[in-house]
Chain A
Amino acid sequence: MPTYRPGPVSLALAGLVALFLLLPLLAVIPVSLTPSRMLAMPTGELSLRHYRALIEDPRWIDAILLSIRIGIVSSAISTVLALCFSLGVWMFQPRFTAALVGFVLLPMVVPPVVSAITLYFLLTSISGFSSFFGYDTWLGVAMAHSVMTVPFATVLILVSLSQLDRRIDLAARGLGASVWQRATRIIMPNIKFGIVTAALLSFVLSWEEIGVTLFITSVNAITLPRLMWMGLRDNIDPAIAALSVILIIITVLVLAVRSVMARQRGGH
């Protein structure tokens, strides 16, 4: 417990920053209720027509379903690959571990636009001999998203492994357990929280991925962020405001639930 508390000046400055951080999130609420067809403040009456558009317009529904499908597939790929890799690192501590982990983390630290042009090169090359796996296909997007999310999944799983007591694995090993038994019966049950978190984070990152997706899709694989982007660039579509309000509410609810759960478990 710190005994040195922020004074009134600190609090006032922090308040301004907090306002700055929340302002754009609050601003979308009135815009989403405008009866106008264009982006504008509602004058007088409010309307839910832009929320209705989200349910009635098949483009939004298709994009949401596609994003969910891509998110599940890419999250499964990146979680499985990250889990195997991390188990290898933790159980065998091979030489050059630092270099190998550094290599795996590259897509996370390289500027996203460079990853985007790299994956554009990959998928257009694949398009040369496969029409359902290359540029502008949902499988191609899922693979590209796996590349982008696998470093985050690896970090999370490695962190939860680093908190695991090595002695339980040594005990299993001493009692004659095989590598497969140690991995599936001893280690994985103990890091299941980390594995689930890695899968969820991978899904969320894929769900909102736009930088790479813009480079590797054009007209067929329209994910939800891609559709939002199209609506933001040309004529701004107020349906985006309605969608944004819904996404913000979901985020706030998830964070609130998480913080209540953390408080009940007594953690931070």
Chain B
Amino acid sequence: MRGTLSDRMGAALLMAPLLLFLVLAYAWPFLGVVKWSVTLPTPGLGQYGALATDPLVQSVFIRTLRIALIVTLVSVAAAYAITVVWVRGSPAQRVVAEFCILVPFWISVLTRAFGWVALLSNRGLINSWLQSIGFISEPLALVRNEFGVIVGMTHFLIPFAVFPLASAMRSLDDRVLLAARGLGSSRMRTFWSVFVPMTRSGIIGSALIVFVFSLGFFVTPAILGGGRSVMIAELIYLRIFQSPDWGLGAAISVVLVLFVGALMALLFRYVRPKQLV
């Protein structure tokens, strides 16, 4: 089947345009960014040294890791709860769960961040309601801080966490659960000692996807953090456009790619790609 001259020609002709396009429009400019990181403002590895010592960069890195960890824990737990109903509920429950997962999934990140601004801001729904019932006198600071960022990112990432979990739960053998119940295990115990361990690959896949996504998150933290809770991606943006330091922005990007690449390698080592879809 493979290997004749015309076959190779045909394959090359069909595959070349996209490969050429991505080499010219993606791989080559990425090397340009790498070049920025070692030539601006002066040639050398100075920017990478700055990454290791600059207290501002360090605090942003630590904040990003902290937010990503919290968001991962909360998103996977929340996704787990709704996926159980989506996969194993009655037909009506499934339709409702699917609606609640897919509608936010298809709505743009800006609209969703804006919805949280409308809920959480000082004159937003939650604060006006709490004030109108006299529960608080001053509005609570729910947005333009880390709390707002975590809420918004969790909301964005839950649907992404659902898909690997759903595939793990679908492939689970019902008879094992029935056996556990038949042997006298309570609902709770069956869930925690049989159901959850059997969906472990889904949990790992979903946690890694959410964690990787949250590391490079830009739009939600920028809107809901209001400039006070800057994460890595926003720092790159600020270094390119506000206090021009292209070298530092480029160096952070390179480090981010390497870190995410290492995590992806881990993901594919522990979870076979087929289990992710």
Contacts and interface: CB of A to CB of B under 8 A. Distances in A.
Contact of B112 (A25, A91, A255): A25
Chain B CB within 10 Å — which of A114, A204, A252 has the most?
A: A114
Interface string A9-49: 11101101110111111111011000000111100000000
Contacts of A18: 82, 96-97, 100
A143 interface: yes
Contacts of B72: none
A88 B114 contact: no
Interface string B226-241: 0000001100110011
B112 A24 contact: yes
Nearest to B260: A111
Contacts of B253: 113-114, 117-118
Given A85-B17, A111-B215, A241-B118, A208 B78 contact: no
B106 A255 contact: yes
B33 A118 contact: yes
A264 interface: no
Interface residues of B, number: 95
B121 A39 contact: yes
B85 A41 contact: no
A225 B218 CA distance: 14
Contact of B116 (A11, A24, A82, A150): A24
B117 A236 contact: yes
A30 B216 CA distance: 32
B96 A88 contact: no
A82 B18 contact: yes
A121 B33 contact: yes
Interface stretch (B8-16, B48-56, B199-207): B8-16
B36 A121 contact: yes
Contacts of B1: 93
**In terms of DSSP, what is the predominant structure of the interface of chain A?**
helix
Contacts of A95: 2
Nearest to B115: A24
B118 A3 contact: no
A84 to B, nearest CB: 5
**In terms of DSSP, what is the predominant structure of the interface of chain B?**
helix
B113 A81 contact: no
B15 A21 contact: no
A17 B15 CA distance: 44
B17 A233 contact: no
A168 interface: no
Nearest to A254: B106
Contact of A22 (B104, B109, B128, B215): B104
Interface in A33-82: 38-41, 81-82
A196 interface: no
A83 to B, nearest CB: 9
A39 B123 contact: yes
A208 B114 CA distance: 14
A147 interface: yes
A85 B17 CA distance: 8
Nearest to B32: A121
Given A28-B115, A84-B17, 11 more contacts: A4-B178, A6-B93, A14-B85, A20-B158, A23-B115, A25-B111, A100-B15, A109-B264, A118-B26, A147-B21, A215-B237
Interface of B: 1-2, 6-8, 10-15, 17-19, 21-22, 25-30, 32-33, 36, 78-79, 81-82, 84-85, 87-90, 93, 95-104, 106-119, 121, 123-125, 128, 155, 158-159, 174, 177-178, 181, 187-188, 191, 212, 215-216, 218-219, 222-223, 232-233, 236-237, 240-241, 249-250, 253, 256-257, 260, 264
